[in-house]
Structure 1
C-alpha cells in the first residue's frame, strides 16, 4: 500500500510539473487546473478539452510558448485576376465574311499557340449581283492589262524607232492596271488570313467553320501564361501612398508589384492595381476572373503574438480561437482578434497573453473533440 501511495503521489507531482508555465488569459488572470476530473477525457463543461498524452502524440499536437513581437502591419484586400495588356491579344477580322479553318482545324480553348501561327481565314461573300459586278470589273481590268501588254511589246520590238515617251506611259499604265487587278483579286479570290499576334493560350469565342462573322468581332483571345493584373479594392485611402508590393493569400509564391490606383472611387472603395509576372517554373497559374485575397504591407507596425496560420481555428459560434495548454493533458480555447501576415502566419492582436503555451500544430483536430 505504501508503495502504491508513493507511486500515485509521484504521478500527480509529475503532471503538475509538466503543466504549461504561467497559463493565463489575455488580462493576466491565472488559468488553473482545478476543473480537471481524474480519468475523464474529452470536452469539459467549461469548453476545455482533456486529452491523454498518448492521444496528443497520435494526433500530432505540438505547442510553443509565444512572446510579444513587433511586425509590419498588413492590410487585406479582395481582388480579381485580370489579363495584362501586354499579355492579352484579340483576333478580329477587318471585313465581314465566312470563317474557314486552317489545315490544323479550328483551335479549341486551352490550346497553346505561337506568334504568327495561322488561326483561320475569313472569306468575303457578296450577293449574287455584287459578285457578278465585281467579277465583271476584274475581267475588264484583265483585258486592259492584256491589251496594254501587247502595246508595250509592239513598241519594244520597234527599238529606236519607238517613241520613248509613249513607251513609258504604256509601262506606267500596265503597272497601275496590275496593281488594280491584285486589289480586286484579293477581295474576290483570296481570304483574309488571321494570325496569332502573341504566343500563349488561346480562347475560342465559340467560333466554328462556315460561321458568318462581322468585321471587328472578337473571334479568338490569346493570353500569355506569365502576365496578369490583380485588381483589388481598398477602403482606407491613407494607405494608397504606402503600397509597394504584395502577395496573395491563396498563392504565396505569387509576388505582386504595385502599379497604381484608379483616380475614381466606386461605392466608397478605391481600385488599386498590381502586376504579376510569373517565373518560368511557376506551377500554380492564376486564372482570369479568379477571386483572390491580396496581402500588402503598409508604413506602420503592429505589436502582437506571431503564430502559424494553422494555430487559428473557429469555434462552434464561428469565432476565431487558439488553444492554450493549461496542464499536461488540459487545453483551453481562447477567442482572439488577429491579422493575416501571409499564407502561413498570423499575428494575434487581442485575446491572448504572452508566455502562454499555444497549440501550433494539430489545433484543428483538437477543436473537433467532443
Structure 2
C-alpha cells in the first residue's frame, strides 16, 4: 500500500500519526428523552363471583393454575335447582297439553258455527281460552329457561385465559351472589402504566417511541395505547398506558406488579448539531470539550487537531446536542480522543456508526 508523501517524509525517529476515528457534525431533529417509572399490569384482571347461592361441591382450580377461557373452575351443588328445573319442565308439558286441548275444542266449535248449531259468543270465548293457554305455555317455557340458566350458573367457568392468583373459598362453604371465589389474571397480555409529568401530555402521540426496562435489565417493546387526560393533584402527572408487544430477552418471565422504567422519546421542533457521546470529554473542573480536525483535513491523511470547549444540551439515542463550539460540517474525533494533545498530528478515519 502506498503511503502519503507527508507520512514517508517523517524521520525514523518521528512517531507515527495516531489513528483516530472522526465523524462529520450534522444538524438533525433533536429528541428530548424523559425518564419515567411505572408498573407492569395485566390487560385483564377479574375477581370472579357467582350469580346464585349454593354449596361449593367441587373446586377444579387452585392458586397458580393456568386456565384457558371456558375452563371449569368450580361447581356448586345443583340438586335444588335441578328439582326446580324439572318442575318448570313439567309445567311446560302441562301447559302444552292444555293448549292442545283448547285448540282441538276450538276447531270443533268452528265447524258447528257454519251450521248455526252454536252461538258465535261461545266460539269467541273458546278462542280467548286458546290465547290464554298459549300465553301460559310461553310463560312456562320462559320459567323453564330461567331455571336452566340458573342451573348453568352453578358451574363457574373462566371468562378469559389467565392464571389463578387467589382462591377465596373451599369445598363445603355456602356462597351467595357476589361472594369472591377466585382472582383471575391474564398474565400473557400485559401493559406497562407510567405516571408522566403533565407538561408532556400534548407531546405524546400514538407513535411516540418508548424504551422500557425491567429491574433485571430486560428491555421491552411497547406501543402507546392510551394517555388518560386526568392529572393527579398530588404529583401533577397523568397516566400513560402502553401495551407490551414483545421483549428482547424471551428467558425473562413477566409478572404483573413488576416495576419498570422507561424513556419517552419526544419529538422536538428544534434542529441542532448532535454528536456521539464518545466525542465529548468532561473534566473535573467543569469544562466540556471536543477535539476537532483543522479545516480541509482529508480522510486517511495526517491532520492537526485542536481542542474546542463546547456547551451541551439534550441527550438522546447515544447522541448529545452541541449548543455552541462546533459548526455543521466540522470533523470531530469520536474515538482515540482521550490522550490527544494540542496540535497533535493524527490520521483521520471515518467512524463506523
- TM tier relative to shorter chain: 0.5 to 0.7
8 Å CA contact retained: 2:67, 2:158: no
How far residue 96 of structure 1 moved from its aligned partner, in angstroms, is 4.5
Q: C-alpha separation between the residues in 1 aligned to 2:322 and 2:212?
A: 19
Q: C-alpha separation between the residues in 2 aligned to 1:289 and 1:224?
A: 11
SS at match of 1:94: coil
| Equivalence for 2:44 | 88
How far residue 271 of structure 1 moved from its aligned partner, in angstroms, is 1.8
Does structure 1 residue 204 correspond to structure 2 residue 162? no
8 Å CA contact retained: 1:226, 1:277: yes
| Equivalence for 1:74 | 32
8 Å CA contact retained: 1:97, 1:212: yes
How far residue 228 of structure 1 moved from its aligned partner, in angstroms, is 2.2
TM-score computed with the length of structure 1 as normaliser:
0.51
| Equivalence for 2:184 | 221
Q: 1:234 aligns with which of 194, 197, 213?
A: 197
Q: C-alpha separation between the residues in 1 aligned to 2:239 and 2:89?
A: 61
Q: Counterparts of 1:59-70 in structure 2 under 5 Å?
A: 64-65=21-22, 68-70=25-27
How far residue 113 of structure 1 moved from its aligned partner, in angstroms, is 1.9
- Map Cα deviations across residues 321-352 of structure 1 (whole Å, 9 max, x no partner): 9xx9xxxxxxxxxxx9886534xx353769x9
| Equivalence for 1:106 | 61
8 Å CA contact retained: 1:95, 1:124: no
8 Å CA contact retained: 1:88, 1:223: yes
How far residue 273 of structure 1 moved from its aligned partner, in angstroms, is 1.3
8 Å CA contact retained: 2:226, 2:242: yes
Structure with bigger strand share is 2
How far residue 78 of structure 1 moved from its aligned partner, in angstroms, is 1.5
Q: C-alpha separation between the residues in 2 aligned to 1:136 and 1:253?
A: 55
| Equivalence for 1:247 | 210
Q: C-alpha separation between the residues in 2 aligned to 1:303 and 1:66?
A: 12
| Equivalence for 1:294 | 263
For this pair of structures, how many residues does the alignment match? 272
| Equivalence for 1:328 | none
How far residue 111 of structure 1 moved from its aligned partner, in angstroms, is 1.9
How far residue 106 of structure 1 moved from its aligned partner, in angstroms, is 0.9
8 Å CA contact retained: 2:276, 2:334: no
CA distance 1:234–1:165, shift in 2 (3 Å): closer
Q: Counterparts of 1:1-370 in structure 2 under 5 Å?
A: 13-14=14-15, 17=16, 19=18, 64-65=21-22, 68-70=25-27, 72-83=30-41, 87-88=43-44, 90=46, 91-99=48-56, 105-106=60-61, 108-109=63-64, 111=66, 113-114=68-69, 117-121=70-74, 123=76, 151=98, 160-161=107-108, 163-184=126-147, 187=150, 190-198=152-160, 200-207=161-168, 209-210=170-171, 213-216=175-178, 217=180, 219-223=182-186, 225-226=188-189, 228-234=191-197, 237=199, 239-244=200-205, 245-250=208-213, 254-257=221-224, 259-276=226-243, 278=245, 283=250, 287-290=255-258, 291-299=260-268, 300-301=270-271, 303-307=273-277, 341-342=316-317, 345-347=318-320, 354-355=332-333, 357-358=335-336
SS at match of 2:167: coil
CA distance 1:152–1:229, shift in 2 (3 Å): same
8 Å CA contact retained: 1:109, 1:202: yes
- Map Cα deviations across residues 227-280 of structure 1 (whole Å, 9 max, x no partner): 524323226x1x332223022152666142373353324434322414335169
Structure with higher Rg: it is 2
How far residue 141 of structure 1 moved from its aligned partner, in angstroms, is 6.7
| Equivalence for 2:341 | none
Q: C-alpha separation between the residues in 2 aligned to 1:221 and 1:89?
A: 6
CA distance 1:212–1:234, shift in 2 (3 Å): farther
Consecutive unaligned residues in structure 1, runs of 5 or more: 1-9, 22-63, 325-335, 361-370
